[in-house]
Amino acid sequence: MNIDNPLVLGIETSCDETGVGIVRGTTLLSNTIASSMDEHARYGGVVPEVAARAHLEAMTPAITSALADAGVTLDEIDAIAVTSGPGLAGALMVGVGAAKALALAIEKPIYAVNHLVGHVGADVLRVPQSATAGSSEIDAGEIQYPTIALLVSGGHTSLLLVRDLVSDVELLGETIDDAAGEAFDKVARLLGLPYPGGPEIDRAAVGGNPKAIRFPRGLSLPKDHEAHRYDFSFSGLKTAVARWVEKKQDAAEQVPLADVAASFREAVVDVLISKALAACAEYGVPRLLLGGGVVANARVREVAAARAAEAGVALRIPPLSLCTDNGAMIAALGAQLIMAGHAPSGLGFGADSTLPVTDIQVG
C-alpha cells in the first residue's frame, strides 16, 4: 500500500445520506452523495427503515459513480474506510456489510472509523478550486491542533476537543435531547413549514427581528455550568416557541412568522456559538472548526465568523459539500490513519449506534 499518499474509498451511511468519496492522501478526488431526504419529507423527519432501504439501493451506484468521478478503478484503491458509528443502527449496517465485502473482493484492508471524527477529518482535504466556489471557507491553510470542533446536524450536536485527529479526541459536550437540526425541523413543523426545517426557517426569517422574542438558551444558566457546561438542550426551546405561538393564536392575533423564525434561529445559533467559544477560551485553544449539515445555515456561519473574530479565534468551515454527511470525510480520516501508520481494522467490527468519539478507529 502507498502509505504516504493512499488512495482511499470511504463509505458513509449513518443517517439519510449514502456517501461514497475517494481521496488520495489529503486530496479530494470525488464525493458522491445520494440522499433519501425527499422520501422522509412527508414524515417530517428521518425514518430509519426508509433510510436503510434507500442506502441499500444507492450503495453500488454511488460506488460506481464515485470511481468514475475520481477517474480511478477499484484495483487502484489502497484501502476502504467505513463509518462504524455513531448513527442509525440499521443504516450503518448497510455500509458496514457493503464495505467489508468490497474490501475482501478487492483484497485490500479496511478501516472502520468514527462518524463524528470524520466530520473533523473533512477539514484536512484539499479541494480543487472549482468545488469551493460559493463556500465560506475562511482559512485555506492547514488545520492545526488542538482545535475545538462544533458538529451540528439533524442527528448530532457535539462539541469536541481535538488534540490529534487520529489519536486524541475528547467529547466536551453533546445534546441531551434533540439535535439542533431536529429542533429546526420540529419548529418548522409547528410553524406550518415543510421538512427539512433549516432552509425553511432561514427563508421565513428573512426580514425578521432576531431580538423580537427572547427565547430560552438551553443549559446556559449559571446553575447548568457544573454538570452541563458544554452540553446542549433544544427541546425546551421548541416548547417555548410552541407556547408563544399558541398564546398568539389563542388571542386571535397574527403570528409574526419572520420574527418568530428569526428569534428561534438566533436562540439556537447563540447557544451553539457561545458554548463553542467558551470552550475555546477555557481550554486556551484559539481555533474552532464547524461541521455537520446545520453549518449550511447562513446565520450559523455569519454569527460564528463575527464572534470568532471578536474572540480572536481562527474559524474553519470546510466547503458545505464536506460539512453535510459524506463519504469523502470518512475516506479522509481513513487516509490520515494510514499515513499515521495505524493498522487496519479486523473484520469483526459492527455498527455501533452510540460509538463514543474517543473511539476514532474501531476493530
> What is the binding site for other proteins (CB under 8 A)?
42-45, 47, 49-50, 52-53, 55-56, 59-60, 63-64, 74, 89-90, 92-107, 110, 189-190, 239, 242-243, 246-247, 250, 347-351
Q: Which does 325 bind (CB under 5 to 8 A by kind): Zn ion, other proteins, none?
A: Zn ion
Closer of 106 and 212 to other proteins (Cβ): 106
| Among 153, 175, 233, 345, contact with Zn ion (rule: CB under 5 A) | 153
Nearest CA among 35, 40, 17, 45 for reference residue 188: 45
Neighbours of 41 (CB within 10 A): 12
**9 vs 148, beta carbon nearer other proteins:** 9
By CB under 5 A, residue 324 contacts Zn ion: no
Asked whether position 157 contacts Zn ion by CB under 5 A, the answer is no
Least distance (Å) between residue 50 CB and other proteins = 5
Is the CB of residue 305 less than 8 Å from the CB of residue 138?
A: yes
Among 182, 325, 345, 351, binds Zn ion (CB under 5 A): 325
Q: One-letter amino acid identity for 11?
A: I
* Shortest distance (Å) from residue 57 CB to Zn ion: 21
Q: Which residue shows C-alpha cell 460539512?
A: 323
CB of 248 to other proteins, least distance (A): 11
**H or E stretch at 291:** strand 287-291
The Cα 343–Cα 1 span in angstroms is 12
- According to DSSP, residue 292 is labeled S
The reply on whether position 321 binds Zn ion by CB under 5 A is no
As a whole number of angstroms, the longest Cα–Cα distance in the chain is: 70
The CA distance from 105 to 103, in Å, is 6
CB of 104 to Zn ion, least distance (A): 27
Say which residues have a Cβ less than 8 Å from residue 246's Cβ, sequence separation at least 6: none
The nearest distance, CB 61 to other proteins, in angstroms, is 10
**Contact residues: Zn ion, CB under 5 A:** 153, 325
